[in-house]
Amino acid sequence: MTQKFFKGDLVQVGEMPKYMSHFEGNCQAIVIGTYAEQYGRDERGEHQYTLFILKRKGESSWYDESQLTLIEPDRFDLLPKSHYARKVWEAKKARTLHNLNKAAEANGEEL
């Protein structure tokens, strides 16, 4: 795996070149996934991303990884509560907490 960014990463989108002037630039976004994750491998593979643009509150594809800079990982909480990726993240977080509590109980510990 050679992808640079992962689902939920908060990234800074740089300035767009003229040929991409229809893309949102100079803004913050959440990584939704790579082309490879969403559609399988092809020439874009792991280096182009679908982003949720925070100021526009919508998704846009395909940003090249060279146009992105990592700000902070795992910021699904910045997505709208109704966004599928946020709901999945919240469910996974709840399951993990539940499993930690069960393991602690089994060992006679408290979290």
Within-domain flag for 33 = yes
Residue 50 lies in a domain: yes
Q: Is residue 106 part of a domain?
A: no
User: According to the model, what pLDDT value does residue 13 have?
Assistant: 97
102 within domain boundaries: no
Calculate the CA 73 to chain-centre distance: 8
Overall pTM > 0.85: no
Domain-located, residue 24:
yes
Domain range for 15 is 10-78
Closest by CA position to 38, among listed 22, 62, 56: 62
Asked if residue 47 has pLDDT above 90, the reply is no
Q: Comparing 38 with 7, which gets the higher pLDDT?
A: 7
Instruction: Answer whether residue 108 is part of any domain.
Output: no
- Looking at the domain assignment, is residue 55 inside a domain? yes
**Tokens representing 92?**
């996974």
User: Would residue 73 count as lying in a domain?
Assistant: yes
Mean pLDDT, to the nearest integer, of 68-75?
A: 97
Alpha-carbon span 15 to 77, nearest angstrom? 25
Domain count, the chain: 1
**For residue 96, is pLDDT > 90?**
no
Residue 101 near residue 93, CB atoms below 8 Å: no
**110 confidence band (pLDDT: 50, 70, 90):** low
